């Protein structure tokens, strides 16, 4: 494995690659061969700490190496398309962080490159790791089994507060040229994919509203993860701070989405509730080992939401971990991601979420942006895609 980029997501991906073969039986062991960063000294310090064998400062040279089979892209979104397409053309399997790209056109190019590469046995995947939380996996299983009947409506939120302070400094995540969008792409992409995954349906159309709540911020002097220290200089915020949109799924079921980095007190509240014809499911990542399940066929005198502690060996992924009741954390999704990707590559099977899945999410993000620019008019996704292809 060669990993390009080593900040917040790079640390999380490194944890996944390092831990996966120590807790799960894998058909081959991932070797953390090379970490790529622009500055050799800084990259070397991170490589030593995270467990990478060597460093490189030019990602293009990595694609020429015979000892690299898979490229893991953890850079800002403006570089995803170029790196991913070049890696696939060079015969390297690819894992790319979400959102897959900054624009719909880039995502379409990447999906086409992935389809062509798959015909040569070269595989690709998008890093929507919240799919790999055991409670989310169980929710998908219960919906697929018909345990809540027909999906009637969905509510999905991703609430954070790390930008709620107007003096929090600028970063690449507040720069449209680097990030493509703000809350919409950074965290809204996750809840769109979560809805696609849990319900088994894709969003068909949206009516959206994007707002920038703080137009100017201090220029950062230093950064650690999501948080930084600002100086006296100030600059413009060029992305949305909050994204809200209503939608219809392919079946016609209505859905509501809310993504913001301005919700004081909400640290990483990824929430989805699915109401069906015979029951409901609810999940909140801030209580990530629990799934709430309501069976409407139970007698009223005993009916109520069941709190399922998703830590039994029978639950997805849990047999590889601890005794029942010993919960998992944020980093375990990245371990499960590495496990699933290594197994798929070894079997020659398309891993999920695929670049086609990533493109489906990008179509929704693009539709929300177009809807917001047109005073929240309902925007049909399939019709736009068909028109673009004609």
pLDDT tens digits, one per residue of 269-291: 999 999 999 999 999 999 999 99
C-alpha span between 197 and 139 (Å, rounded): 9
Residues 61 and 115 in one domain: yes
Which residue ranges of the chain lie beneath pLDDT 70? 225, 387-390
Residues 82 and 139 in one domain: no
Residues 83 and 135 in one domain: no
Residues 121 and 139 in one domain: no
**Is residue 76 in a domain?**
yes
**Is residue 348 in a domain?**
no
pLDDT at 390: 63
Residues 106 and 223 in one domain: no
Give the side-chain half-sphere CA count within 13 A for 197: 25
Tally the domains of the chain.
2
Q: Residue 115 sits in which domain range? A: 2-129
CA dihedral over 173, 14, 328, 347, signed as positive or negative: positive
Residues 290 and 279 in one domain: yes
C-alpha span between 228 and 236 (Å, rounded): 16
Residues 93 and 188 in one domain: no
Residues 25 and 146 in one domain: no
User: In the sheet that 269-276 helps form, which strands lie side by side, from edge to edge?
Assistant: 306-309, 290-295, 279-284, 269-276, 151-159, 254-260, 242-249, 203-211, 379-380
| Burial 202-227, CB ≥16 within 10 A → b, else e | bbbbbbbebebbeeebbebeeeeeee
Collapsing DSSP states into helix, strand and coil, what is residue 178?
A: helix
Residues 295 and 154 in one domain: yes
Is-contact 278 126, C-beta < 8 A? no
Picking from 350, 344, 356, the residue whose alpha carbon sits closest to that of residue 112 is: 356
Collapsing DSSP states into helix, strand and coil, what is residue 351?
A: coil
Name the region of 290 (left: φ>0; alpha: ψ -120 to 50; beta: rest): beta
Return all residues near 177 (Cβ < 8 A) that are at least 6 apart. 78, 238
Quote the crossing angle between the two packed helices 355-373 and 189-199, to the nearest 10°: 120
pLDDT at 226: 75
Where is the domain boundary, 308, 327, 343?
343
């Amino acid at each position: 494995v060669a990993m390009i980029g080593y900040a917040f997501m790079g640390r999380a991906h490194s944890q996944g690659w390092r831990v996966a073969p120590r807790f799960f039986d894998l058909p081959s062991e991932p070797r953390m061969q090379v970490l790529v960063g622009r500055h050799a000294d800084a990259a070397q310090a991170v490589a030593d700490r995270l467990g990478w064998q060597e460093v490189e400062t030019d990602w293009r040279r990595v694609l020429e190496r015979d000892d690299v089979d898979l490229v893991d892209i953890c850079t800002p979104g403006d570089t995803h398309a170029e790196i991913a397409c070049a890696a696939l053309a060079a015969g390297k399997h690819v894992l790319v962080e979400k959102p897959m790209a900054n624009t719909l056109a880039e995502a379409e190019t990447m999906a086409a490159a992935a389809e062509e590469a798959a015909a040569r046995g070269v595989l690709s995947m998008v890093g929507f790791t919240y799919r790999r939380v055991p409670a989310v996996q169980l929710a998908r299983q219960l919906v697929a089994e018909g345990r809540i009947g027909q999906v009637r409506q969905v509510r999905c939120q991703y609430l954070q507060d790390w930008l709620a302070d107007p003096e929090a400094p600028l970063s690449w995540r507040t720069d449209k040229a680097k990030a493509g969008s703000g809350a919409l792409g950074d965290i809204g992409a996750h809840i769109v994919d979560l809805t696609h995954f849990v319900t088994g349906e894709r969003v068909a159309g949206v009516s959206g509203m994007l707002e920038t709540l703080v137009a100017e911020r201090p220029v950062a002097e230093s950064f650690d993860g999501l948080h930084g220290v600002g100086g006296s200089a100030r600059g413009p915020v060029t992305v949305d701070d909050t994204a809200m949109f209503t939608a219809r799924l392919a079946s016609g079921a209505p859905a509501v989405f809310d993504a913001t980095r301005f919700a004081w007190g909400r640290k990483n509240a990824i929430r989805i509730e699915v109401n069906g014809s015979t029951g409901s499911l609810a999940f909140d990542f801030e209580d990530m080992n629990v799934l709430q399940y309501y069976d409407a066929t139970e007698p009223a005198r005993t009916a109520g939401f069941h709190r399922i502690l998703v830590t039994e060996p029978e639950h997805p992924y849990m047999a590889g971990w601890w005794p029942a009741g010993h919960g998992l954390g944020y980093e375990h999704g990245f371990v499960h991601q590495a496990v699933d990707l290594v197994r798929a590559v070894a079997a020659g099977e398309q891993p999920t979420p695929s670049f086609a899945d990533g493109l489906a999410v990008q179509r929704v993000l693009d539709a929300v942006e177009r809807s917001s620019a047109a005073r929240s008019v309902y925007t049909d996704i399939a019709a736009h895609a068909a028109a673009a292809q004609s």
